[in-house]
Chain A
Amino acid sequence: MTAVLAPPETQAPAVAGRVTQARVIWSEWTKLSALRSTWYCALTAVIVLVGVGALAAGGKPYVVSAGNPAETAVSVSLYGVLLAQLVLGVLGVLVFSGEYGTGMIRATLAVVPSRLPVLWAKLLVLAGLVLPVTLVAALAEFFVATAIQSARGGSAISLTDPGVLRTVIGASLYLTVTAVIGLALGALLRRTAVAVSAFAGMFLVAPLIVAQLPHSVARIAPYLPSSAGGALWGQPLATHPLGPWAGFAVLCGYAVVLIGLAAWRLRRRDA
């Protein structure tokens, strides 16, 4: 048999170099972009956003007035965000739980034994994928919905109308942070079913339960992640006592706390 590998003590440069954050990011992008589930989730999110927007625009023509600002019309047509957040939340969860479920996490952490670069890399490639995809989808949704609306006799709404651009970009930012929260939950809870349940509990069930509670408790409703983050894009099911950016900051706070817990668990626990 011929030599399998080069002798270990030769002067030739080693094949394997240092682990750097940039290399780990490249590695994580290799995985995320090669998985079919990534593109199914992304495509589903785009279809849901644009499709629901087009359906909403088929309703009663919306006339902009002092009491009916343009941004509200845009928020209503962005209803699909509520479905897209589930799809993208699952995509986020799978980034980690998919590796724990298949055992690949052991291979991953064995080649990056310092571990945390894996978490940062996964966060970056997920956000780097979800942000542009949802931004394009939200803009497409806006143009489709406003075109249908004005064709049916509604007011012509422009991106430059007050609050409109913030609402459209806000939908994309909101979805990116929810996907990041999904990723953190996947890293923290490791099992897909558990993490997806936790995500659904946080974004769908919690608001419903809190709404049923006595008024003294229900006051926390605006601070739940879906309502707080919803302030940025005018989530139509909730009232928003928090300002758009204050609400978004609260949502980001949830993400930061969960990422912190995920980092702590990744560092401390056996893989």
Chain B
Amino acid sequence: MRGRIVIEIDGLTKRYGDKTAVDGLSFVVEPGVVTGFLGPNGAGKSTTMRVIAGLDRPTSGTVRVNGKRYPGCAAPMSELGILLDAKSVHPGLSARNNLLALARTAGIGRRRVDEVIELAGLAEVAGSRAGGFSLGMGQRLGVAAALLGQPRTVVLDEPVNGLDPDGVRWIRLLLRSLAEEGRTVFLSSHLMSEMAQTATRLVILGRGKLVAETSVEDFVGHAADGDVLVRTPEAVALSRVLAAPGVTVTDDGSGVLRVSGVTAEQIGATAWRAHLPVYELTPERASLEEAFMQVTQDSVEYHAGATR
């Protein structure tokens, strides 16, 4: 082993002027799985990633990549590959020259540059100026740059932004295989549904503070405690037999009851015992986005539609 392949963030605080972007953040990103960094816009995800890459200095706290402070690494490109945003390229340079310029700082040759161009699906546009690229192609170029040095740790800020469905699928498979190879993979998103399909672990951030460190599985399971919709011609009678402490039945007169506090299985069994017909029984999962919003509700900086 050449040391642990992890990102360790310990008590990180970053202030810009009197605005606190990240506030006492501590967590560890482990190798072998894809870890999602989730939070609403302005939660401090990008700031944290910039500090990991050594672009911004922490106000206090420490960040270690593979056991070292990243800015002190002798061979930075083999330790950390980073995509900060799709615009971190020179529009006047071709895709290939953008990559070559980065590659040459670490003595990486043309062959490897061509490999990542191929990997990112940019072979046909490698000679074109990056200024003419769509957002999606810019993202692919940024991901190619992050992978140039075959880094042990990969950090990507909103990699899915601007990608078409094909690109989204590409990046999911790519991240998964990077993790399977034993690398540490850390990516941010403000979309829970995206994370649910890509990540295994979750670090949830709100207003610069850690809200939860969990697995996607637990988070989704937690989100599943939703209402059950019951369509029945005997709404009044069924409401009566379902009534119990902790159970809420809402009847809006349309023939569909909204029941919370019991499972769909229990409702079906109760209806059968009371000989009441049920046409439809739909467990309504709180969507992942709703669950995510519940978790981060108190920490969202600007509520949509809020007036000030």
Footprint of B on A, CB under 8 Å?
Answer: 1, 3-9, 14-20, 23-24, 26-28, 30-31, 34-37, 98-99, 102-104, 106-114, 270-271
Contact of B57 with A by CB under 8 A: yes
Chain B: CB-nearest residue to A269:
B57
Contact of B71 with A by CB under 8 A: yes
Query: Whole-angstrom distance from the CB of B199 to the nearest CB of chain A?
Result: 17
Contact of B11 with A by CB under 8 A: no
Contact of B222 with A by CB under 8 A: no
| A-B residue pairs, 5 tightest by C-beta | A16-B149, A16-B77, A113-B71, A16-B78, A16-B106
> If A16-B149, A35-B93 touch, does A109 touch B55 (CB 8 Å cutoff)?
yes
> If A16-B106, A18-B106 touch, does A110 touch B150 (CB 8 Å cutoff)?
no
Contact of B105 with A by CB under 8 A: yes
Query: Whole-angstrom distance from the CB of B161 to the nearest CB of chain A?
Result: 14
Contact of B77 among A102, A108, A111 (CB under 8 A): A111
Interchain residue pairs with CB less than 8 A apart (26): A1-B177, A3-B177, A5-B150, A6-B150, A8-B5, A8-B181, A9-B2, A9-B182, A15-B148, A16-B150, A17-B75, A17-B107, A18-B106, A19-B75, A27-B101, A27-B102, A27-B104, A30-B100, A98-B92, A103-B85, A106-B84, A106-B88, A110-B53, A110-B84, A111-B76, A270-B57
Q: Are A114 and B71 in contact (CB under 8 A)?
A: yes
Q: Are A5 and B147 in contact (CB under 8 A)?
A: yes
Chain B: CB-nearest residue to A112:
B105
Chain A: CB-nearest residue to B129:
A36
CA distance A8 to B78 in the complex (A): 9
Q: Are B92 and A36 in contact (CB under 8 A)?
A: yes
Contact of B145 with A by CB under 8 A: yes
Contact of B9 with A by CB under 8 A: no
> If A23-B107, A112-B76 touch, does A104 touch B90 (CB 8 Å cutoff)?
yes
Chain A: CB-nearest residue to B71:
A113
Q: Are A4 and B97 in contact (CB under 8 A)?
A: no
A112 contacts across to B, CB distance below 8 A: 76, 105
CB proximity to A under 8 Å, residues B83-127: 84-85, 87-94, 97-98, 100-108, 112, 119
B181 contacts across to A, CB distance below 8 A: 3-8
> If A6-B150, A27-B102, A30-B97 touch, does A16 touch B108 (CB 8 Å cutoff)?
yes
Q: Are A16 and B75 in contact (CB under 8 A)?
A: yes
CA distance A118 to B232 in the complex (A): 72
Q: Are A102 and B78 in contact (CB under 8 A)?
A: no
A35 contacts across to B, CB distance below 8 A: 90, 92-93
Q: Are A15 and B92 in contact (CB under 8 A)?
A: no
B76 contacts across to A, CB distance below 8 A: 16, 19, 110-113
Q: Are A113 and B73 in contact (CB under 8 A)?
A: yes
CA distance A271 to B47 in the complex (A): 12
Q: Are B93 and A31 in contact (CB under 8 A)?
A: yes
Q: Are A4 and B119 in contact (CB under 8 A)?
A: yes
CA distance A114 to B74 in the complex (A): 9
Query: Whole-angstrom distance from the CB of B121 to the nearest CB of chain A?
Result: 13
